Amino acid sequence: MDVIKKINKYPFLYWIPSLITIIVISYFSLMPQEIIISKQPGFNFNFMHLFAYLFLSFFMGISLFHSKLKNHYNLAILYCFLFGTLIEILQYFIPGRLFGIDDLIRNTIGIVLGQGARNILRKNKFLKKII
């Protein structure tokens, strides 16, 4: 519990996982298609969209919660959706990449699942203070 009290003194630390996730998603989403590992056998690109945005939404919700914003669930969904839309628009200008509505749908499903998981975990008394 002492660790949580120490971290709560510096609420900006809760933004680190969100920022790392944004950097990783941006890096892999904005590389030219020839470099992407999706051509590897057994790689499920559809699952990666959902998985990446689930984590982004989860971490973004925590960051916003510790920023003392009352509407942190809705803001996390909105910010993550806008980020995903921006990435899709930027992909239009990257060689070998496309703007895809199907990608936006997978991103949105991941975003909603991330906030759903956070909502379920917040029912635990200990975790409620963190997430």
Q: Which one is predicted more confidently, 104 or 5?
A: 104
Taking alpha carbons only, the member of 100, 81, 80 closest to residue 90 is 100
Structure confidence at residue 43 (pLDDT): 61
Structure confidence at residue 130 (pLDDT): 77
Percent with pLDDT over 70 in the chain: 91
* Domain boundaries of the chain, sorted by first residue: 15-29+43-128
| Average pLDDT taken over every residue of the chain | 88
Taking alpha carbons only, the member of 47, 52, 68, 59 closest to residue 121 is 59
Structure confidence at residue 98 (pLDDT): 86
pLDDT in tens, 14-33: 999 999 999 999 999 998 87
Assess whether pLDDT exceeds 80 at residue 51: yes
Structure confidence at residue 112 (pLDDT): 97
Ramachandran region of residue 28, left (φ > 0), alpha (ψ -120 to 50) or beta? Answer: alpha
Burial class (CB in 10 A: 0-12, 13-18, 19+), 27: exposed
Q: Which one is predicted more confidently, 79 or 46?
A: 79
